Amino acid sequence: MKSPQKNPVNKLLNKSFVLLLEAGGEEPEVADIPAFPPLIDRSNLDWGYQTQPSPHSCLARRNGRCSWFRGRVMGGTSTINYLIYIRGHPADYDEWESMGNDGWGYEDVLPYFIKAEHNKNPEKIDAHYHGFHGQMSVQYFPYQDRNTLALIQAYEELGLPILDQNTRELIGASLLQHTQKDGKRMSANIAYIRPIRHKRKNLTIQTKASVQRILIDPNTKKAYGVEYRQGNQIITALAKKEVILSAGAINSPVVLMLSGIGPSDHLREHGIQVIKNLAVGYNLQDHSTLDGVVFALTNLTATTASDQQMQRDVYYWRDTHQGPLASTGPLQANAFVQTKYEEEPERPDIQYSIDATNVRDFFTDPILTVETSITPLSYYDGLMIRPILLNPASRGVIRLNDTDPVNGSPLIHANTFFEEIDLRRVVEGVKQSLNLLRTKTLRNLGMALVTTSLPACSHILFGTDEYWACLAQAYTATIFHPAGTCKMGPENDPKAVVDPELRVHGIKNLRVIDASIMPKIVRGNTNAPTMMIGEKGSDMIKGYWLDHHEAVGAFTHNLEVDKFFGK
């Protein structure tokens, strides 16, 4: 691999005890509005990644590729996500521990969820499982429309209990809490970085600074710094203690491979010196779903609005942080269920998220509508019912770009629905979701299934298992939860990249701390678990250097961080 021209070490940065590097820019005000994710996806806050074509998924998408939104901004994907605060099932973490990851069972990680959380609705939750003094504000949105509340009622009518789904029970329904504060987004950047940014002299932050590789001595196998690009310069920064990589499940494996850590054959193909042969990039998992299952609304509950009304709502939100823009619409109504394929008691295999959609536009041109959607989540005349696959059997892989491994987009082989059981679970999830239309609640509101066939599946009888399977493979969608590509596991696990202390196997002074370390994806949204991983990883670093190496007063280390807590 040809090395770019380097500039001398930036002396100012070397004086810092902690250096945080972010590939994107500052978090803009537009990202504060909860209903605005459709406006900022595909913007310059997004890496713009797409999956590679596959015979099993995304078949109707342009060029057979699905978009995977990833935040390229302070706060990473927590700045552009949908803010859902769900931790997963306790058995998810006990399973991690059973795979050889001591210290990662549910009872071990629960204190870190509690530590991170500042829950602002103590009267409506089980206080035993929640925190009230953490950095991350968690609460119900100040606004719910009629459809959101009706969906909760409909789930209850179908026999699903209304739960706090951040305890030991998930199967049921809930009005979700979100990482927001009084109607305004709470990203990891807002929660953790802004409060200290101009107060701690030992912290330097560099934005628009894209890490190219970690510097590792090939003889001692010790990480000692990073090279990063800022503008037209390549800058070297040295680390006295550790390099911490938190670039997420797509970019963390890319940085490791560019640094000589990864599958040896793949690295040699790109002329990269192999420092450590590890299964970097493998074990890719995601929570997949589909477009196309739509309930049409009547004028009784449709929330479409004129441009003038939307503008008034923007000004109202700016002045009060209230109103329809202070929420994510029907996405607040959540349910976890089991299909007939799930064998573990009390553990869900399908989650229902319900998106706002414009019925006429979607069924006129489903691909163009998805690719050009810029309508806030508050305004809609249809509900997109999304059964989300929680425990995929399929596994993908991240590879370096063939023509430009450093600056080119990585190759994302998602392998969605590669295993037939995944497709079967989603089809069963679709069929169960249609029971909502049998409820008195939704019938009274006039909701109805749109029975127009989408173009790619018009040759199959609408409503059959084959039709829903066709939709899933043609109009594949995701809720953007990539995980697992730097798998945590013991040294005798041939697919493990990091150990239970999050240290890269065989490399000194290098850790990965983000969703890529999940050995198996959690059965729920990944934002809260990733912050838990960050909290736990932070304690591991402090414990190692303070307890085993230095007195507290001598804790002055140089720490290089790429996209801290970003994913």
Residue ranges for the known binding site are: 73, 77, 211
pLDDT of residue 303: 97
pLDDT tens readout for residues 424-471:
999 999 999 999 999 999 999 999 999 999 999 999 999 999 999 999
Residue 70: pLDDT over 50: yes
pLDDT tens readout for residues 207-220:
999 999 999 999 99
Tokens 């009084």 correspond to 182
Residue 189: pLDDT over 80: yes
Pairing, β 397-399 against β 411-413:
antiparallel
Residues involved in catalysis: 481
At 548, the pLDDT band (50, 70, 90 cuts) reads low
* Cα distance between residue 73 and residue 38, in whole Å: 16
- Amino acid identity of residue 436, one-letter, is L
What b/e readout covers 442-462, taking b as 16+ CB neighbours within 10 angstroms? beebebebbeebbebbeebee
pLDDT of residue 17: 86
Residue 13: pLDDT over 70: no
Q: What is the mean pLDDT of the chain?
A: 93
pLDDT of residue 15: 53
Map residue 387 onto helix, strand or coil.
strand
Q: Would you state the torsion angle of the CA atoms of residues 442, 445, 451, 457, taken in this order, to the nearest 10 degrees? A: -60
pLDDT of residue 566: 31
pLDDT tens readout for residues 75-108:
999 999 999 999 999 999 999 999 999 999 999 9
Q: How far is CA 301 from CA 101, 180, 354, 381, 559, in A?
A: 49, 26, 15, 8, 52
Homologous superfamily assigned to 57-68+146-175+288-306+327-478: Glucose Oxidase, domain 3 (3.30.560.10)
| Structure token digits, residue 371 | 């690719």
What is the DSSP track for 393-434? ---BEEE--SS-TTTSPPEEE--TT-SHHHHHHHHHHHHHHG
Residue ranges for the known binding site for FAD are: 73, 77, 211
Domain boundaries, the chain: 11-26+190-283+484-562, 57-68+146-175+288-306+327-478
- Which secondary structure element, helix H or strand E, spans residue 236, and what is its range? strand 233-238
pLDDT tens readout for residues 264-319:
999 999 999 999 999 999 999 999 999 999 999 999 999 999 999 999 999 999 99
| End-to-end Cα separation, the chain, in angstroms | 28
Helix axes 90-98, 106-116, angle to 10 degrees: 130
- Amino acid identity of residue 417, one-letter, is F
pLDDT of residue 118: 98
CATH architecture label of 11-26+190-283+484-562: 3-Layer(bba) Sandwich (3.50)
